[in-house]
Amino acid sequence: MTPNPQHITAELRAWIVAQAAAGQAPQALVESMVKSGWQEEVALLALQKVLSEHLAREAARAEQASLPPAVPVPGPALRDSPLYLDAGDRRVHVLQAMTDPRLVLFGNLLGDDECEALIALARPRMSRSLTVATNERGEAPNDDRTSSGMFFERGECELVARIEARIARLVHWPVENGEGLQILRYAPGAQYRPHYDYFDPHEPGTAAILRRGGQRVATLIIYLCEPDQGGATTFPDVHLEITPKRGNAVFFSYERPDPSTFTLHGGAPVTAGEKWIATKWLREREFI
């Protein structure tokens, strides 16, 4: 069988890309191809195909290159689509899961007694919420977050240590990589505007924050007290609202500090009653 002279070989592909990069006009390339046996129309189509595939590959490569590298993240074992997960001292319910963003809704993560006990321990220690400021030194009140809050030290009492061990087992991530549990209380009207939980790599203060254990790679928001109305956790990129049901928790991970993770999320305003949550942020390495 004679070789098809109008076949796009690897050599032809490389020649077209090189000639185009050198500034040769498409018509000149077509003329060269016609001289070597191509029909003009077929040559034009082949040229378009090679150049558009090349551009698409280059665009994908540029996008990849401009993204921070992906890192390993925590996550529950969901490969066999279990209804329940063994978190050591508790059987946690898997209520819903999605892959992009990686997000899992758990039920029965905490008992009512544990939710109430956490609130009772936190209540006398609450103050106006601060966020980790990455644009200056230290922490600052943030108008995007109108709740009040406090942090427990990691393992500071038996209850906190028990919950931390449960979370570590549930999402397969060392207890040591967790920040201290944060408690937040939202009164009516309070909200947390949409944000990312990872630290913005472009902010000047981020380098110092990352020295304590690297980036945040996952968040677990646990609902301790249900408001009477409002207060959902929202994921605007994927049009998802998580109802703040006591004992439930929403987990989401982000393998790079980038909006392409679709992990933009916020706390919608509480319109009646009070919402209390506990948040566990997980870092790449031991958080010190």
Interacting residues toward ligand PD2 by CB under 6 A? 184, 192, 197, 219, 221, 233, 265-267, 277, 279
Pick from 114, 164, 179, 197: which binds Zn ion (CB under 5 A)?
A: 197
- The number of helix segments (H) and strand segments (E) in the chain equals 6, 17
Which is nearer to ligand PD2, 111 or 236 (by Cβ)?
Answer: 236
With b for 16 or more beta-carbon neighbours within 10 A and e for fewer, the 10-48 pattern comes to eebbeebbebbeeeeeeeebbeebeeeebeeeebbebbe
Q: Give the number of other Cβ atoms within 10 Å of residue 252's Cβ.
A: 24
Residue 55: CB partners within 8 Å, gap ≥ 6? Answer: none
Which is nearer to ligand PD2, 212 or 245 (by Cβ)?
Answer: 245
CB of 197 to Zn ion, least distance (A): 4
Which is nearer to ligand PD2, 106 or 192 (by Cβ)?
Answer: 192
Which is nearer to ligand PD2, 75 or 267 (by Cβ)?
Answer: 267
CB of 191 to Zn ion, least distance (A): 12
CB of 125 to Zn ion, least distance (A): 20
Which range touches Zn ion (CB under 5 A), out of 111-119, 195-203, 230-238, 239-247? 195-203
CA dihedral 237, 240, 241, 242 (to 10 degrees): -110
Check if the beta carbon of residue 191 is closer than 8 Å to that of residue 250: no
- Residue 226 touching Zn ion (CB under 5 A): no
Look up tokens 């203060």; give the residue.
Answer: 205
In this structure, which amino acid lies at residue 161?
Answer: A
Which is nearer to ligand PD2, 14 or 272 (by Cβ)?
Answer: 272
Which chain residues interact with Zn ion by CB under 5 A? 197
